[in-house]
Structure 1
Amino acid sequence: MSKLWKVTLMILVTITLVAAVALVIIFKFTGDKQQTAPTADEILESSVDVPEITTNLADGSFIKISFKIQMNNEDAKAEAEKRDFQMKDIIIEQLSQMKPADFNGEQGKTHLKARLKEKINQIMQDGKVEQVYITSFILQ
């Protein structure tokens, strides 16, 4: 009986070691590729500034607003810089449909940023918008 226990124990230890080695190999090569938030420098390197735009809103009041648009890579940034006039057109078009009440609270600005991201991504070919930041905002 003791010989049977030794053989069984050896088989279990061998299976456990093989499984452990397999797991190490799998995690090493596939990796646990977690998305880390970009650093401030990385955001700046891939971002385009949209200088202050002054335009009328739907009710006749006006807004002064500027943006920083974060792209997903440097090729997208270069394309966005070339499409500056198109991005400004999209921004003015979206703003002209809004009323001052549409900007109330965090939700209003978040909705605007989401719409701008969607509309600008429709014209992009070499990348996409990751995030839209409002860098100045005056509503009168």
Structure 2
Amino acid sequence: MFKSKIFIMVVAILIAITLILTAAFVLWNYMDKSNADPHEQAQNSAREVKSGKKLTPDEVVANTFEMKDVLTNLASANGVSNKFIKVSFAFELENKKAKEEFEKLQSQMKAIVIQTLADMQPEQVTGSKGFDNLTSVLMNKMNALLQEGKLNQILITDIVLQ
């Protein structure tokens, strides 16, 4: 009888340890994913956007919307922004209906650009990695608003950082 009580206690302790380790493992994985860089997540998500077919140059021109000279302050580490950015974009959409919808939502799209830039620090928008980061974030935010089609590509056609 004494041995069976010890056996039951040992099994109970082993089950408790297993449950604690499982909970710790699940929590660790959850925390690791929630700490991932949101810009990196945006880039990965934007890479998943695929166009159905390759457009001809004439179709690209017909389905491209230009947004010129967007000017806003950038975020800074100390809270006082002394840097600004002026940027122009070419938004290539997958079809004519998507372009028409984008044109109708132009003010919302511009607001997304300004808000996104205002949340970024100068080092986040410099160099090719910064450009990729910016266009990925914009593509994810803008594609969420579009229903007639999707953005195929966002090109930065002009940029000044001061």
Question: Which of 61, 67, 72 pairs up with 1:50?
Answer: 67
Partner of 1:70: 92
Partner of 1:111: 133
* Pairwise CA distance, 1:36: 6.0
Q: In the aligned structure 2, how far is the partner of 1:38 from the partner of 1:75?
A: 15
Q: What secondary structure is seen at the aligned counterpart in 2 of 1:138?
A: strand
> Residue 36 and residue 121 in structure 1: after superposition, are their counterparts in 2 closer, same or farther (change >3 A)?
closer
RMSD: 1.2
Q: Percent of aligned positions with the same letter in both sequences?
A: 38
Q: In the aligned structure 2, how far is the partner of 1:36 from the partner of 1:121?
A: 18
* Pairwise CA distance, 1:125: 1.1
Q: Aligned letter for 2:123?
A: A
* Pairwise CA distance, 1:37: 3.5
Q: Aligned letter for 1:51?
A: K
Q: What secondary structure is seen at the aligned counterpart in 2 of 1:111?
A: helix
Partner of 2:122: 100
Question: Which of 31, 34, 39 pairs up with 2:56?
Answer: 39
Q: Could you tell me the TM-score, scaled by structure 1's length?
A: 0.72
Q: Aligned letter for 2:65?
A: V
Q: Which runs of 5+ in 2 are unaligned?
A: 1-51
Q: In the aligned structure 2, how far is the partner of 1:37 from the partner of 1:136?
A: 25
Q: Aligned letter for 1:58?
A: A
Q: In the aligned structure 2, how far is the partner of 1:62 from the partner of 1:83?
A: 25
Q: In the aligned structure 2, how far is the partner of 1:137 from the partner of 1:119?
A: 20
Q: Could you tell me the TM-score, scaled by structure 2's length?
A: 0.63
> Runs ≥4 in structure 1, deviation > 3 angstroms?
none
Superimposed CA distance per residue, residues 63-119 of structure 1 (whole angstroms, 9 cap, x where no aligned partner): 000101011100000000000001000000100011111123211100110111110
Q: In the aligned structure 1, how far is the partner of 2:125 from the partner of 2:106?
A: 24
Which has the higher Rg, Structure 1 or Structure 2? 1
Aligned length: 106
Q: In the aligned structure 2, how far is the partner of 1:103 from the partner of 1:46?
A: 26
Q: What secondary structure is seen at the aligned counterpart in 1 of 2:130?
A: helix
- Which shifted more, 101-110 or 72-81? 101-110
